[in-house]
């Protein structure tokens, strides 16, 4: 798979699992995250291939709240590996414990940071990726049922995911690139909790499929999930 893939929030959870899945497929994967040491550890682990038959990982410290970090990141990715085929706007935060942070108890500071990271961060990621996207590039924004269904204790996180989906639809309407939302269901990450949830590794193939094989017209401005993936690949 001769692709250049750029992922924000790639040092843990879904981002880390998707990065490994793309490296396994032979792609050049640019990983990023707020913690530079975690980025270095992730790159080292992904490049630990004795057989030499996998792709290549490369990394940079990026805070998606800072559009200049993202601007530099995509410029460096393009210099390292050429136009970006897949941009995965994955970085996110949840202040507090999932299910235990009612909207009525969210502070203004936490609300602002959640929206700046999870919604504005998606906007900034896509905006800064645009000048470096390949002609047939795809941009993926992860989401979940909380974006459309009220659930207690999800607070600003749920609001931010609804906003992130709206950002994706806006870019889908105005870009030539394919931009869509992928919902993997409940996944065991630090943002969503770990009980009765799928492992990130089990849903990574869903994101690879959405970014490479799903019909562009089904993804662009739309939401794809486990049902569509399983139906297409069974």
Structural domains of the chain, count: 1
- Mean pLDDT of the residues in the chain: 93
Whichever domain contains 142, its CATH number is: 3.40.50.720
Give the residue from 42, 234, 2 showing the smallest Cα distance to 134. 2
- The model's pLDDT over 24-53, given as tens digits with 9 standing for 90+, comes to 999 999 999 999 999 999 999 999 876 667
Are the CB atoms for 81 and 2 separated by under 8 Å? no
- Starting at the earlier edge strand, list the strands of the sheet with 56-61: 56-61, 28-33, 4-7, 84-88, 133-142, 178-183, 223-225
End-to-end CA distance of the chain: 21
- The model's pLDDT over 89-125, given as tens digits with 9 standing for 90+, comes to 999 999 988 888 999 999 999 999 999 999 999 999 9
Which residue range is the domain that position 97 belongs to?
4-233
Question: How far apart are alpha carbons 21 and 9 in whole angstroms?
Answer: 15
| DSSP β-ladder status, 56-61 and 28-33 | parallel
Identify the H or E element spanning 73. helix 67-81
Which tokens in the block code for residue 121? 């961060």
């Amino acid at each position: 798979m001769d692709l250049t893939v750029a992922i924000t929030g790639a040092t843990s959870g879904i981002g880390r699992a998707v990065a490994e899945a793309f490296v396994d497929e032979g792609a050049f994967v640019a990983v990023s995250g707020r913690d530079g040491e975690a980025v270095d550890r992730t790159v080292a682990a992904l490049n630990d291939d004795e057989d030499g038959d996998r792709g290549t990982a490369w990394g940079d410290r990026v805070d998606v709240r800072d559009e200049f970090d993202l601007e530099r990141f995509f410029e460096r990715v393009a210099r390292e590996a050429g136009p970006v085929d897949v941009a995965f706007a994955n970085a996110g935060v949840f202040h507090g414990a999932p299910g235990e942070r009612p909207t009525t108890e969210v502070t203004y500071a936490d609300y602002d940071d959640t929206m700046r990271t999870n919604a504005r961060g998606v906007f900034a990621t896509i905006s800064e990726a645009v000048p470096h996207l390949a002609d047939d590039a795809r941009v993926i924004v992860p989401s979940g049922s909380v974006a459309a269904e009220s659930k207690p204790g999800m607070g600003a996180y749920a609001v931010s995911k609804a906003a992130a989906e709206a950002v994706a639809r806006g870019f889908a309407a105005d870009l030539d690139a394919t931009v869509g939302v992928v919902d993997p269901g409940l996944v065991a990450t630090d943002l969503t909790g770990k009980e009765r949830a799928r492992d990130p590794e089990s849903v990574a193939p869903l994101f690879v499929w959405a970014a490479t094989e799903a019909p562009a017209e089904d993804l662009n401005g739309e939401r794809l999930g486990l049902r569509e993936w399983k139906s297409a690949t069974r």
